[in-house]
Amino acid sequence: MLSPPGRRMLAPSLLSADFSDLASAVRAAERGGADAFHLDVMDGHFVPNISFGPALVKAVRRRTTLPLDIHLMISEPGRYLAEFAKAGGTTLVMHIESQGDHKALVKVARDLKVRPGIALSPDTPLESVVPLLSELDELTVMGVYPGFSGQQYIPSTTGKLRQARRLIQDSGRSVDLSIDGGITVETAREATMAGANFFVCGSSVFGGPGSPEDNLRALRGSIADGPR
């Protein structure tokens, strides 16, 4: 039996929103019941794409009081932690494949009074985060190769989530288990059953069949059941 995960949260990813009108995207997502926002920072080096930096995080912070989950897809996260904390980030998620002493960087994040998180790309085994788990507030399992929204969920992610939930359970700490990439009403249900409790959703919210509000409500329905 899986340990009861924390509160289930939906975090729309603004990467899929209209950058020319982010304020409206934030408002629509809030109306649809978003619990947090996910912001994808890309440096064109760690991943092939370039997105945005602390200035945009700061602008979003002015528009919402919800937690901001900052996904740092950058080669040297240690250089920018203070800036993203100052910009209003709530959780700073670094990739385990990035450069630096991640244990030390997690401590830096704590000292900055933000929640530290670690993300794993699809090819990275969970073993790599075991020594860090007891220091984290969030573990992000990527359901796609980082860099772009709108990709398809990699099916082997579900087993990895199940294993991650077990590791969290063994650590005895309450760590949010986040799934990022390829989340739809179907894969959200699958990830819930596997023990995820934090759901990043980009194209399924801002590029989905209905309004962001309706899309979020549909996603909420699909994460309602499963292990508690």
Residues with a catalytic annotation lie at: 40, 180
Binding mask 152-191 for Zn ion (x = CB under 5 A): ----------------------------x-----------
Instruction: Give the single-character DSSP code of 68.
Output: E
Q: Which residues fall within 8 angstroms of residue 12, CB to CB, at 6 or more apart?
A: 25, 29, 34, 37, 38, 200, 201, 202, 205, 206, 212, 216
The answer to whether the beta carbons of residues 78 and 109 sit under 8 Å apart is no
Which partner from the list Zn ion, ligand DX5, none does 208 bind, CB cut-off 5 to 8 Å by kind? Answer: none
Q: How far is the CB of 200 from ligand DX5 (least distance, A)?
A: 5
Residue 34 in tokens: 């978003």
Task: Say which entry of ligand DX5, Zn ion, none residue 149 contacts (CB below 5 to 8 A, set by partner kind).
Answer: ligand DX5
Instruction: List CB contacts of 154: < 8 A, sequence separation 6 or more.
Output: 122, 143, 144, 181, 182
* Contact indicator for 130, 175 with CB cutoff of 8 Å: no
Closer to ligand DX5 by Cβ: residue 94 or 170: 94
User: Is residue 212 within the footprint of ligand DX5 (CB under 6 A)?
Assistant: no
203 binds ligand DX5 (CB under 6 A): yes
**Which residues of the chain form contacts with ligand DX5 (CB under 6 A)?**
13, 15-16, 38, 40, 71, 144, 146-151, 180-183, 200-204
**Which residues of the chain form contacts with Zn ion (CB under 5 A)?**
40, 71, 180
